[in-house]
Amino acid sequence: MNKESTETLSVVTEREMPHPPEKIWRALTQQPLIEEWLMKNDFEPRVDHRFKFRADWGEVDGQVLAVEPNKTLTYTWVAMGLESVVTWTLTPTSTGTHVRVEQTGFRPDQQRAYNGAKYGWQQFFAALEQVVARTD
């Protein structure tokens, strides 16, 4: 692979949740709920809205790119030299919702960020599931 390559890597995490898309959507888009499973934030599900996720280790700068309520949510995720895009997709199933998150834009030289995201999304997903399960 040459250094000029623009090939990027993606992290995909998906899981079936026994809840309707509307319930999961709230956890993905409402500030107090996002804080419970992800990070402190000033997020709003509005295209072009700029926001920050804040954690002990630092901040993520984001901008909302696409919003289709209860279906898809896309935003940029810029942190520590990484410029990526996160897309959530909610698909109703007979028993609940298929939840998929894809983070794209990892360069081959960003293996540490890539591995961190693979681990991180697993943790976030587990926390998201708990938040969704206990909200009305």
Q: Per-domain residue ranges for the chain?
A: 13-134
pLDDT digits 0-9 by tens, 115-126: 999 999 999 999
- Stretch 30-49: mean pLDDT, rounded? 98
Using alpha carbons, list the distances in angstroms from residue 51 to 1, 24, 78, 126: 36, 20, 11, 23
pTM beyond 0.75, yes or no = yes
Listed in order, strand segments (DSSP E) in the chain are 9-17, 40-41, 50-55, 58-68, 72-79, 82-93, 96-106
Q: Who contacts 82 (Cβ-Cβ below 8 Å, separation ≥6)? A: 105, 106, 110, 113
Q: Which amino acid is at 123?
A: Q
CATH architecture of 13-134: 2-Layer Sandwich (3.30)
